[in-house]
Each structure stands twice: as C-alpha cells, then as structure tokens.
Amino acid sequence: MPGPTLLMGAVAYDPKVVTIWEGFRHYLLGKGLPFDYVLYSHYERQVEDLVSGRIDAAWNSPLAWLRAQRLAAASGRTVRSAVMRDTDQDLTSVVVVRADSSYATLADLQGQAVAVGAVDSPQATLIPLSHVRSTGLRPDEDVVVHRFDIGVGLHGDHIGGERDAARALVAGEVEAACMIDGNHLLFSQEGTLPPGATRVLTQTAPYDHCNMTLVDTAPGELAEEFVELLLSMSYADAQVRPLLDLEGLKVWRPGRDSGYAALDAAVTETGFYDGEGRLTAKEYAP
C-alpha cells in the first residue's frame, strides 16, 4: 500500500499555474518526495480545505493566509508560514496622482475620486484604503472609491484591476489610483502610464505578500522535507530556473508572519472576515 503524499493546493489565477506546479511536482518527485497538487478556482475554498485537513499545504495569498489563521484558531488547529518568495517580502502600495495635479497630501483628495483594484485585492484596495483611512479620510464618504472588480476571488493575484485603475487616472476619470509599487513601475514601462505622467502621492509601510501555508495535520516528515527542498532550490539549476522565473522569484526564503499587520488591520476595519474567519465582506462573492 502506498504511503502518504503531501498534497498542496494552489489557485489557478493564470494558465501558467499548471506549468509551474507540474514542473515543481516532477522536480520534487525526482528528489524522492511524494507530492501532488490540486487547483482551486478561488482562495476561499482552498483555505477551508487546508484548515479541514483535506490538503496539507496551500500556496496562499496574504488575504488567504489571514483567513487561514483565523479559521484555524477558531477550530483548534494551527497553521504556519513555511516558505516565501524573495519577492514576497517588504513590499509597499502607492497612491498615485497625475504629475501635473496640485495634490500634495492625502488630505487634498477630500471629495475626490480614487480608483482601486478588486474588492479582495490586498495591495490595490484593502491596504491602501486602510492607509487613506489612517489619515482621517473615510473611503466612500470623504473620498469617492471607484473599484475595478476584475478576478474577484483571486485576491489580487493578477493586475487587471490595478491596470484599469491606472487607466482611469490617465483618462481623468479619477484623481488618484492605488496599486502595488512594482506595478506602478511596470505600468510606466509598458506605457499604460505614459512616462512622467504620474507621481506618487503617498506610500504605505512595507508588508509581506504570499506564503506557503502548512497546517498542523500535514504529515510532519513530508512537510519538513517539502520545505527543505523548496529552500534548497537554486536559480543556477537549469531545471528549476524557468519555473522560478514563472513564479516570480530567485530564491525561496523561510516563511514569517510578521509582515501582515497592515492587512490584518484592514480586514478588521472593513469586516472582510470576522474574528473566526467567516466571510462577512459586503459585495464579495468569489
């Protein structure tokens, strides 16, 4: 009878997800780890299956990580951030305005329209609007929020909503747009934001993004071997380099849970999830 297999969940936010995890699967099997993966259409079911023990690991968005923590605590389970990409740590979001505007601070946006990403985007909606809220401006009251709900359920694991928010800014439909700092650079490079057409009005404090979440019901030895094999992957290895490029990293780093305070505050402020991880967000239907 075959022994246990470490089963990981991933959300199919893009066709490349199959290529990535099929490649990692062959690599891990070649290293002797019995490993398989299942794909989900959205993060909510993935997190529920993780905490219930139907899968052992989940490649989670930051929002999914926070829900996993809350659901696990409510059910007497524990989860941990096992590994992260080097590109998941110390990111920021920015609120961008047109370069020729007169806005100097967030307070100047009183009564103006601000574009954000999807309702469940940590980097383009939840975190930057919490940053706006911290200055005393109330989203949907003191500023008009224009939300671009692209890929709802994918927790911002795409740039559709952010790109549309940037386009709305350039078109003069809004006075500011929220996005992750890396996408501000990307949009300028690709021409979505014409060179020199925008400037950063304000920037959030650093935060962390995705992590590989392990639940305490995962087979212990296999889970540790899984973590060790990911951490040992080398960008110099021609077999894994294309997969790392597709997944957007150069090296896996040990996981941490210290970079999620800003998102946790935003989730609590908006009631996106309740304290036990139940879905309570209005206008959210993954």
Is the domain of 82 the same as that of 212? yes
% of the chain residues with pLDDT over 70: 99
| Pair 82, 216 in one domain | yes
Domain membership of residue 214 as a residue range: 6-88+208-270
Distance of CA 6 to the CA centre of its chain: 23
* Residues 193 and 212 placed together within one structural domain of the fold: no
Does position 1 have pLDDT exceeding 70, yes or no? Answer: no
| Number of domains the chain is built from | 2
Domain check: are 189 and 161 in the same one? yes
Q: What confidence score (pLDDT) does residue 19 get?
A: 96
Task: Tell me the pLDDT tens digit for each residue of 185-212.
Answer: 999 999 999 989 999 999 999 999 999 9
**pLDDT at residue 231 tops 70:** yes
CATH code for position 189: 3.40.190.10
Residue 35 lies in a domain: yes
Predicted TM-score (pTM) of the model is 0.95
**Per-residue pLDDT tens over the stretch 241-282:** 999 999 999 999 999 999 999 999 999 999 999 999 999 998
The token pair at 67 is 């829900």
Is 279 part of a structural domain of the chain?
A: no
- CA dist 183 and 181 (Å) reads 5
Shared domain for 11 and 60, answered yes or no, is: yes
Same domain, 76 and 114: no
Q: What is the pLDDT of residues 50-108, one digit of tens each?
A: 999 999 999 999 999 999 999 999 999 999 999 999 999 999 999 999 999 999 999 99
Q: Is residue 130 domain-resident?
A: yes
Same domain, 25 and 115: no
Q: How confident is the model at residue 3 (pLDDT cuts 50, 70, 90)?
A: low
Instruction: Check if the beta carbon of residue 11 is closer than 8 Å to that of residue 154.
Output: yes
Residues 10 and 40 sit within 8 Å (Cβ to Cβ) = yes
Residue 138 lies in a domain: yes
Average pLDDT along the chain: 96
**pLDDT (tens digit, 9 = 90+) per residue, 141-184?**
999 999 999 999 999 887 889 999 999 999 999 999 999 999 99
Comparing CA positions, the residue from 95, 94, 140 lying closest to residue 282 is: 140
Q: Are residues 199 and 101 in the same domain?
A: yes
